[in-house]
């Protein structure tokens, strides 16, 4: 094929065009990567803080391999004495989320097995197909009415009223993990014969086990007493409705049940949601969708969304219903492609 142009003038034009293209590509690359790094920050920062944040290593999650290296799994008993494995020891030593002692304590003391599929449910209103406030329908639409899935519902109450997961379990053969900190509500939950693991601990706001003061004045909205969350001594106004409660990181509980692949995580704990999400070692779990209550968090929904974007999730939208003020997050499966837009 004959060259388009062989003159010196045309060669100069080609050189200019090539230079412009290179500048444009470089600009796009820098812009995209700067944006990707910027959204990874949890909160607004000064320019000096922003520069430091970009160059800081990935956040630590208090894991065994961060303390002992990746060889610890070959001889885990080397790093603790089973005779010392008590709740008091785990709390005082701030043991790692994946510490064998922490996992063992949960399995032996705080975890109830699912009811068998052949055992009938005991529901107050069995005719109500979906008791959720819209969460179940929305998540199932995102997941294409997925069957045989696995859920976590923290803030499960009695296992029926406003349950975000009961429909999935009853009609789509899901199973999962139900967490409820209020002891009276948890007792009701255990009578439902749910086909899921159940536990009455609370989720830790730290990347290690802690004991907190827990307020059950209003069972439907029981929660960690934020102002006294890590004080082991009761406050002056200590009542029967405010008592000490054991909390574990959600990752510890998942290891205890041997499950890190989660289709749906429902988190509604009346204020501690942001802190709980921050404890999760996201590279070690695979959570596809979440609904998270946001209107009681002191950090606010914007900070929560930044945190989730940092961990490769996108905000799908909000659920604003009679009992719900929640934000829906989905795993950003296009993250690797978005960097090259």
What is the per-residue pLDDT across 161-175, written as a single tens digit (0 to 9) for each?
999 999 999 999 999
Residue 313: CB partners within 8 Å, gap ≥ 6?
Answer: 290, 329, 330, 331, 332
The pLDDT value given to residue 204: 96
CA distances from 250 to 62, 65, 102, 160 (A): 13, 18, 12, 22
The pLDDT value given to residue 202: 94
- pTM for the whole structure: 0.79
CA distances from 296 to 182, 273, 292, 293, 330 (A): 18, 9, 11, 7, 21
Residue 259 has pLDDT above 70, yes or no: yes
CA distances from 87 to 94, 128, 203, 244, 272 (A): 10, 40, 15, 13, 22
What is the per-residue pLDDT across 115-155, written as a single tens digit (0 to 9) for each?
999 999 999 999 999 999 999 999 999 999 999 999 999 99
Residue 161: CB partners within 8 Å, gap ≥ 6?
Answer: 124, 131
Assign 74 to helix, strand or coil: helix
Average pLDDT over residues 86-96: 96
Residue 274 has pLDDT above 60, yes or no: yes
Assign 231 to helix, strand or coil: coil
Indicate the average pLDDT of the chain.
Answer: 81
The pLDDT value given to residue 269: 92
Placement of tokens 């995102």 in the chain: 142
CA distance 60 to 66: 8
Are residues 61 and 96 in contact, defined by beta-carbon separation less than 8 angstroms?
A: no
What is the per-residue pLDDT across 301-330, written as a single tens digit (0 to 9) for each?
999 999 999 999 999 999 887 777 899 999
């Amino acid at each position: 094929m004959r060259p388009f142009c062989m003159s010196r003038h045309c060669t100069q034009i080609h050189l200019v065009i090539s230079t412009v293209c290179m500048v444009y590509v470089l600009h796009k690359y820098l812009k995209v990567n700067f944006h990707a790094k910027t959204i990874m920050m949890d909160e607004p920062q000064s320019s000096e803080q922003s520069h430091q944040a970009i160059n800081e290593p990935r956040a630590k999650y208090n894991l065994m391999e961060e303390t002992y290296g990746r060889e610890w799994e070959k001889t885990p008993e080397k790093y603790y004495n089973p005779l010392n494995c008590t709740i008091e020891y785990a709390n005082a030593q701030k043991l790692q989320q994946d510490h064998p002692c922490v996992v063992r304590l949960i399995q032996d003391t705080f975890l109830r097995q699912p009811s068998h599929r052949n055992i009938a449910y005991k529901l107050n209103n069995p005719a109500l197909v979906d008791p959720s406030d819209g969460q179940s329908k929305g998540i199932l639409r995102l997941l294409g009415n997925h069957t045989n899935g696995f859920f976590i519902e923290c803030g499960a109450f009695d296992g029926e009223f406003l349950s975000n997961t009961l429909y999935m379990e009853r009609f789509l053969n899901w199973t999962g993990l139900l967490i409820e900190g209020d002891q009276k509500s948890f007792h009701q939950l255990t009578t439902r014969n749910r086909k899921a693991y159940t536990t009455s601990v609370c989720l830790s706001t730290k990347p290690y086990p802690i004991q907190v003061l827990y307020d059950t004045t209003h069972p439907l909205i029981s929660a960690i007493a934020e102002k006294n969350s890590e004080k082991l001594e009761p406050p002056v106004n200590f009542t029967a409705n405010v008592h000490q409660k054991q909390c574990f990181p959600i990752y510890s509980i998942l290891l205890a049940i041997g499950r890190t692949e989660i289709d749906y995580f429902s988190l509604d704990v009346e204020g501690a949601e942001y802190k709980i999400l921050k404890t999760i070692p996201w590279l070690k779990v695979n959570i596809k969708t979440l609904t998270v209550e946001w209107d009681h968090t002191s950090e606010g929904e914007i900070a929560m969304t930044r945190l989730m974007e940092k961990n490769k999730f996108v905000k799908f939208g909000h659920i604003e219903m009679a009992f719900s003020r929640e934000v829906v997050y989905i795993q950003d499966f296009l993250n690797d492609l978005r960097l090259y837009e």
